[in-house]
């Protein structure tokens, strides 16, 4: 999602005598952006809280060797804002936040993760972290030693791997675009091209295979692509080809920013429906898809299954996979509503999704009315 917020870089130094040190960076449109440092462990991180109108901010912790501090800051801001929209539309009663640790995942240490947990703890539940790129359930276990504000732990009261829920939500999203485009949600004999065969993409391929879809598969890991293509009688294509494949549905399940002025003119699909975060390089790419007559299932709705699942950990009654499944299933209805809104207002589905999220945030629709219950801290 493109971020139009202007950044004012006045560091209002704060905060607490003990390490780690948290310094506030004032950013227009964001509730709290904190630069976190800890001399002892070498921790350099950013915790970004975009909006808590509907509940405390929840979002993963990305561990990545960003080239510059500004690159890390921009990523954290963009991702935190995306979480606000995702939560508002999935009605989780949560706000949006994200954190990034500037480090190579190969070089992270116990001390560094513990110090990060201490920083999260200082926020007393305003921000709840979870796994993300470079951050594993084992890392979360170390962070948990310093703070209870963590979800997605390997724990008997926890929700486990979010990928099956994300894959199911994405599958339901594919049914929704087929329904809208062809008047039938059946995937039988429809061609779906999947870019990225990781935790979510490979599960999605399996779900589609059993329902009779024809698959075109691509991953930068050629061996993985070949193995899955063999297993599902699919066509394997190179990463350079996948976006240009003639198909009913293109399912981006790898990277963000892949739908742009460079790639949209070459698409040969009727719809785009995949799990990757931030698929549009900029908001205007939503309009470009509309102009080309390609139906787009907004990423921050279709890929909300994992968030829905992890949120169920915070329920007063404790985590329930059946409730998480039922809520993920309903992403189909949420998407159909967005397509209708877009048609009625002659705007892109992306613009319709943004405006519905803004409306819910502005009027507090779906606001959490009870304290979050951290399951593993009970
Ligand atoms: P993953 O890391 O398990 O899989 C990503 C796959 O994409 C890898 O197999 C990788 O080799 C492949 N890939 C990378 N670049 C590629 C390219 N140019 N062409 C083809 N393949 C390429 O990640 P994941 O957990 O499956 O998530 C996939 C996407 O969905 C990411 O954008 C992620 O942010 C988003 N997402 C995931 C979840 C979840 O529950 N895991 C939830 C919401 C959103």
DSSP annotation string for 307-328: HHHHHGGGSTT---HHHHHHHH
Q: Are 300 and 171 members of one domain?
A: yes
Q: How far apart are the CA of 37 and the centre of ligand 1, in A?
A: 29
pLDDT for res 271:
99
Probe ligand 1: pick from 254, 278, 311, max atoms within 8 Å of CB? 254
CATH code, domain carrying 29: 3.40.50.10860
User: Using a 6 Å CB cutoff, which residues line ligand 1?
Assistant: 162-163, 166, 195-201, 218-221, 239, 253-256, 275-277, 303, 306
Could you tell me if residue 374 is inside a domain?
Answer: no
- The DSSP output letter for 257 is S
- 């829920």: which residue's tokens? 165
Q: Are 49 and 82 members of one domain?
A: yes
pTM reported for the whole predicted model: 0.91
Could you tell me if residue 367 is inside a domain?
Answer: no
Report helix, strand or coil for 158. Answer: coil
Could you tell me if residue 373 is inside a domain?
Answer: no
Element (H, E) at 335: helix 331-345
pLDDT digits (tens, 9 = 90+) for 225-254: 999 999 999 999 999 999 999 999 999 999
Phi (first) and psi of residue 55, to 5 degrees: 160, 175
Find out whether 192 and 216 touch, Cβ atoms under 8 Å: yes
Q: Are 114 and 246 members of one domain?
A: no
pLDDT for res 103:
98
Probe ligand 1: pick from 87, 168, 201, 236, max atoms within 8 Å of CB? 201
- Cα-Cα-Cα-Cα dihedral sign, residues 53, 113, 130, 349: positive
pLDDT for res 375:
76
Q: Are 190 and 298 members of one domain?
A: yes
- Which positions of the chain have pLDDT values less than 70? 1-18
Q: Are 341 and 205 members of one domain?
A: yes
Q: Are 187 and 255 members of one domain?
A: yes
pLDDT for res 370:
81
Q: Are 229 and 275 members of one domain?
A: yes
pLDDT for res 13:
44
DSSP 171-225: HHHHHHHHHHHHS----TT-EEEEE--SHHHHHHHHHHHHTT-EEEEE-S-HHHH
Provide the β-strand partners of residue 135. Answer: 132
pLDDT for res 18:
59
Instruction: Provide CB contacts within 8 A for 252, sequence distance 6+.
Output: 195, 196, 258, 259, 272, 274, 275, 276, 279
Nearest to 213 by CA among 239, 241, 177, 243: 177
Q: Are 310 and 189 members of one domain?
A: yes
Could you tell me if residue 282 is inside a domain?
Answer: yes
Atom of ligand 1 nearest to the CA of 202: 26
Could you tell me if residue 200 is inside a domain?
Answer: yes
Domain interval for residue 127: 11-87+95-144
- The DSSP output letter for 151 is -
Nearest to 159 by CA among 343, 20, 319: 319
Q: Are 183 and 278 members of one domain?
A: yes
Q: How far apart are the CA of 277 and the centre of ligand 1, in A?
A: 9
Could you tell me if residue 378 is inside a domain?
Answer: no
Could you tell me if residue 178 is inside a domain?
Answer: yes
Q: Are 185 and 137 members of one domain?
A: no
Quote the CA–CA distance of 203 and 72 in Å, as a whole number.
Answer: 30
Could you tell me if residue 1 is inside a domain?
Answer: no
CATH code, domain carrying 304: 3.40.50.720
pLDDT for res 294:
98
| Residue of 35, 81, 86, 98 marked active site | 98
Q: Are 174 and 301 members of one domain?
A: yes
pLDDT for res 4:
37
pLDDT digits (tens, 9 = 90+) for 27-56: 999 999 999 999 999 999 999 999 999 999
pLDDT for res 19:
79
* Domain count for the chain: 2
Quote the CA–CA distance of 34 and 13 in Å, as a whole number.
Answer: 10
Q: Are 175 and 60 members of one domain?
A: no
């Amino acid at each position: 999602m493109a971020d139009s917020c202007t950044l004012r870089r006045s560091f209002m130094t704060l905060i607490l005598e003990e390490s780690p040190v948290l310094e506030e960076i004032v950013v227009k449109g964001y509730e709290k952006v904190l630069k976190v440092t800890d001399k002892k462990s070498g921790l350099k991180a950013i915790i970004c809280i975009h909006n808590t109108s509907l509940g405390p901010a929840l979002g993963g912790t990305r561990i990545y060797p960003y080239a510059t501090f500004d690159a890390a800051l921009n990523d954290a801001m963009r991702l935190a804002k995306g979480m606000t929209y995702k939560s508002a539309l999935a009605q989780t009663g949560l706000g949006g936040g994200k954190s990034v640790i500037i480090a190579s995942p190969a070089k992270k240490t116990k001390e560094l993760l513990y110090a990060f947990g201490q920083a999260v703890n200082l926020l007393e539940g305003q921000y709840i972290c979870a796994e993300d790129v470079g951050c594993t359930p084992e890392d979360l276990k170390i962070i948990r030693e310093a703070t209870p504000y963590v979800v997605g732990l390997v724990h008997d009261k926890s929700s486990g791997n979010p990928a099956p829920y994300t894959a199911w939500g994405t599958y339901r999203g594919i049914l929704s675009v087929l329904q809208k485009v062809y008047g039938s949600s059946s995937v039988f004999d429809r061609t779906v091209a999947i870019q990225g065969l990781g935790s979510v993409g490979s599960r999605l391929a399996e779900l589609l295979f059993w329902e009779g879809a024809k698959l075109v598969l691509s991953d930068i890991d050629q061996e993985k692509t070949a193995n899955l293509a063999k297993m599902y009688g699919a066509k394997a294509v190179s990463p350079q080809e996948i976006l240009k494949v003639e198909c009913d549905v293109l399912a981006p399940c790898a990277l963000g920013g892949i739908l742009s002025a460079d790639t949209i003119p070459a698409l040969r699909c009727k719809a785009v429906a995949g799990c990757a975060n931030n698929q549009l390089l900029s908001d205007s790419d939503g309009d470009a898809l509309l102009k080309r007559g390609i139906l787009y299932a907004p990423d921050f709705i279709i890929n909300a299954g994992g968030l829905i699942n992890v949120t169920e950990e915070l329920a007063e009654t404790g985590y329930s996979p059946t409730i998480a499944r039922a809520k993920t299933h309903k992403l189909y209805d949420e998407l159909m509503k967005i397509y209708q809104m877009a048609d009625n207002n002659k705007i892109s589905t992306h613009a319709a999704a943004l405006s519905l999220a803004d409306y819910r945030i502005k009027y507090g629709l779906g606001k959490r009315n009870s304290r979050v219950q951290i399951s593993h801290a009970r």
